Amino acid sequence: MTYNDWFEKHATRHQNIMKKIKDLSDEEVIKYFRFDNMVQKEPDFCPLYKDNKKCHDYEELNCYLCACPNFRFDDNGFKKVEDKTLYSYCNIDSKDGAQYKGDDYIHQNCAGCLVPHKEPYIKKHFSRNWKEIMKDVRP
């Protein structure tokens, strides 16, 4: 699956949840996306939910901004770095992020970064239109 395919499928899942909870306040929407609630009420939102597993080891994980607005991707690659193609990177160069380098590719590894999963960050960037928040992630 390409980054773009994943992004579009995730956007649809997110939008469907937002339609279902449209009468909640912004604060209630953010609370709804807490990991423990999502595992119970939206088990198909994330493949990790079926195993009650988190993508990031963080007690107060919030899944509203799954797919960080600072993540940048291009399925065709951004540029060549030495003999490898750079397909994704962190726009804020988070100190907790890393790069995964293969034989001919480089992908951003966000596993150590919690920036978009903390509620103060979500509140600061909140929009009921997830794609609006994510508008810069792809070229």
What secondary structure does DSSP assign to 58-118, as a single string? -TT-B-TT-S-TTEEE-TT-SEEETTEEE-EEETT--TT-EEEE-SSEEEEE-TT--GGGS
**Digit-coded pLDDT (tens) for 44-77:** 999 999 999 999 989 999 999 998 999 999 999 9
pLDDT at 19 over 90: yes
Which tokens sit at 112? 């150590």
Between CA 21 and CA 20, with CA 2 as vertex, the angle to 5 degrees is 5
Q: What pLDDT, on the 0 to 100 scale, is given for residue 139?
A: 86
**Digit-coded pLDDT (tens) for 63-114:** 999 989 999 999 999 999 999 999 999 999 999 999 999 999 999 999 999 9
pTM of the entire predicted model? 0.93
Q: What pLDDT, on the 0 to 100 scale, is given for residue 64?
A: 98
**Digit-coded pLDDT (tens) for 116-132:** 999 999 999 999 999 99
Q: How far apart are CA 20 and CA 85, in angstroms?
A: 40
Sheet strands side by side (includes 79-81): 79-81, 84-86, 105-109, 98-101
